[in-house]
Homo-oligomer: A and B are copies of this chain.
Amino acid sequence: MQQTFKEIEKQKKNSNDLFSPRTAFAHRFKTIREYTETICTPLKTEDFVIQSMPDVSPAKWHLAHTSWFFETFVLKNFDKSYREFNPVFNYLFNSYYVQVGPRFTRSERGLLSRPTVEDVYQYRSYVNFHFLNLLEDASLDDFQKMIPIIELGLNHEQQHQELILTDIKHVFSVNPLKPVYLKRERGKFKANNLEWIKFDEGIYFIGHQGDDFAFDNEGPKHREFVEPFQISSRLITNGEFLEFIDHGGYDRPELWLSDGYAALLREGWKSPLYWIIDKDQKKHEIFTLSGLEELNLDEPVCHISFYEADAFARWKDCRLLTETEWEVAASGSPLKGNFLEDSFYHPITCHEQNGLQIEQLFGDLWEWTRSSYSPYPGYKTPPGAIGEYNGKFMSGQMVLRGGSCVTPRSHIRATYRNFFAPPSRWQFTGIRLAKDGK
Contact = CB atoms under 8 A, between A and B. Distances in A.
Contacts of A437: 378
Given A114-B179, A117-B46, A422 B396 contact: yes
A113 B175 contact: yes
- Copies of this chain held together in the complex: 4
Nearest to A53: B111
A140 interface: no
Given A46-B114, A224-B225, A227-B222, A108 B370 contact: no
A113 B176 contact: no
A136 interface: no
16 contacts: A45-B46, A45-B117, A46-B114, A88-B176, A92-B176, A96-B258, A99-B254, A104-B176, A112-B175, A201-B223, A224-B225, A257-B393, A310-B395, A314-B381, A371-B374, A396-B396
Interface in A163-179: 171-172, 174-177, 179
A contacts with B: majority SS: mixed
A52 to B, nearest CB: 5
Interface string A300-315: 0000001100100010
Contact of A45 (B45, B92, B256, B381): B45
B116 A45 contact: yes
Contacts of A176: 88, 91-92, 104
Contacts of A201: 223
Interface of A: 44-52, 88, 91-92, 96, 98-99, 104, 108, 110-117, 171-172, 174-177, 179, 201, 203, 222-225, 227, 229, 253-254, 256-260, 306-307, 310, 314, 319, 370-372, 374-375, 377-378, 381, 387-388, 392-396, 422, 436-437
A395 B49 contact: no
A201 to B, nearest CB: 8
Contacts of A92: 176
Contacts of A48: 46, 113
Contact of A113 (B44, B307, B381): B44
